[in-house]
Amino acid sequence: MANYDFRSIEKTWQAYWAQHQTFKADNQSSKPKYYVLDMFPYPSGAGLHVGHPLGYIASDIVSRYKRHKGFNVLHPMGYDAFGLPAEQYAIQTGKHPALTTDENIIRYREQLDRIGFSFDWSRSVKTCDPQYYKWTQWIFIQLFNSWYNPKSNKAEAIETLIEDFAKHGCNNDLHTFAASEWLGYNAQEQSAILLQYRLAFLSEAMVNWCPALGTVLANDEVKDGVSERGGYPVERKLMTQWSLRISAYAERLLQGLDSIDWSDSIKEAQRNWIGKSEGASLHFKIQGQDQALEVFTTRPDTIFGVSYWPLLQSMKPCKIYVLENTEQPL
């Protein structure tokens, strides 16, 4: 039996697939649709690592199986090409990240093709392409210019809220004012109020700040108090961040999971990400002051065991009264 000349055979068929766009999904097909999406790799100079094909092989098997079963399969691939590694590499080498990223993408594409994956390359994207990320910017603008209307249970243009304030004023848990008061507010005051209703809003949050890298890091980018890339010191810092008002959609998102054909484990992960909690807001009186400290808890029955209250450094030391009416010094 002759030896299997895999180099020649695979190269021939991979060229045939590319020329005839064998794996391209048909927009006008009458076949049932099936969508297989992989996590996009980050194009670094080293090329693919074993973790990439480990996942891609499994999803490619599913894609090929579904094609053989008569499905119109959309199986795209792209490059998650924004990020700290490209910025750091540019600083170290003096080469523009756009150049190095494109060079690395060519390397990745060669490797992916040699493995023989059945990707629809006609739909390939790279997230650093302005023609791609202009749409992420567009989405942000839509979110910023929208608010969640609990009466209609959907997002509406922020202009509808402005019009409602101008006609009827506001009386909810956040604000109470008459229509005449709203019209009397200046532009800055109105903007500050509207920011508490927009789907995209500014808020203060504790983040992992790395002064050396000049950026905020995710938890998985910090190890033992230093940045995973470069080993620079990282500090916890209260900073202003853009946030999305996911909580407004919590119930709709949870209900929507019931109609999705996903595994129970994936649905549970989504429920945890949505993070809706039912509980109570408690107000602790501060000794010698009119103000109170508010805390949300899902276990109000445990409040009787409160022994201390962690305060921000900017707050003055004080004493609070807990529910069992005992004074707890801080």
Same domain, 172 and 158: yes
Rounded Cα distance, 92 and 78, in Å:
26
Angle (nearest 5°) at CA 205 between 202 and 209: 115
The predicted structure's pLDDT at residue 24: 96
Cα separations (Å) of 260 from 64, 256, 270?
23, 7, 12
Residue 130 in domain = no
What pLDDT does 205 receive?
Answer: 86
Please give the residue range of the domain that contains residue 119: 6-125
Point out the domain boundary residue: 125, 154, 170.
125
120 and 19 both lie in a single domain: yes
pLDDT of 285-298, one tens digit each? 888 888 888 888 88
Q: Are residues 66 and 36 in the same domain?
A: yes
The answer on 10 and 121 residing in a single domain is: yes
Residue 219, in any domain of the structure: yes
Question: Are 179 and 86 found together in one domain?
Answer: no
243: CB partners within 8 A, 6+ apart: 200, 201, 202, 203, 205
The pLDDT of residue 220 is 84
| 241 is a domain residue | yes
Which residue ranges in the chain fall short of pLDDT 50? 312-330
CB pairs under 8 A, 24+ apart, for 108-113?
Answer: 108/41, 108/43, 108/47, 108/48, 108/79, 111/47, 111/48, 112/48, 112/56, 112/77, 113/14, 113/18
pLDDT of residue 317: 45
Question: Is 135 inside a domain boundary?
Answer: no
Of the candidates 107, 116, 121, the one whose C-alpha atom is nearest the C-alpha of residue 53 is 116
Q: What are the backbone dihedrals phi and psi of residue 206, each rounded to the nearest 5 degrees, phi first?
A: -75, 125
pLDDT at 314: 43
**45 within domain boundaries:** yes
Is the same domain home to 118 and 191? Answer: no
Tell whether pTM > 0.75. no
- Looking at residue 56, its amino acid is Y
Q: Is residue 32 part of a domain?
A: yes
Is residue 98 assigned to a domain? Answer: yes
Instruction: Verify that 314 and 252 share a domain, yes or no.
Output: no
Domain shared by 259 and 288, yes or no: no
- Asked if 161 and 75 sit in the same domain, the reply is no
Q: How far apart are CA 146 and CA 160, in angstroms?
A: 9
* Torsion-angle region of 116 (φ positive above 0: left; ψ -120 to 50: alpha; else: beta): left
Percent of the chain with pLDDT over 90: 57
Q: Is residue 212 part of a domain?
A: yes
**88 and 152: one domain?**
no
- pLDDT score of 329: 35
Say if residue 61 is in the same domain as residue 106.
yes
CA–CA separation, 319 vs 281, rounded Å?
19
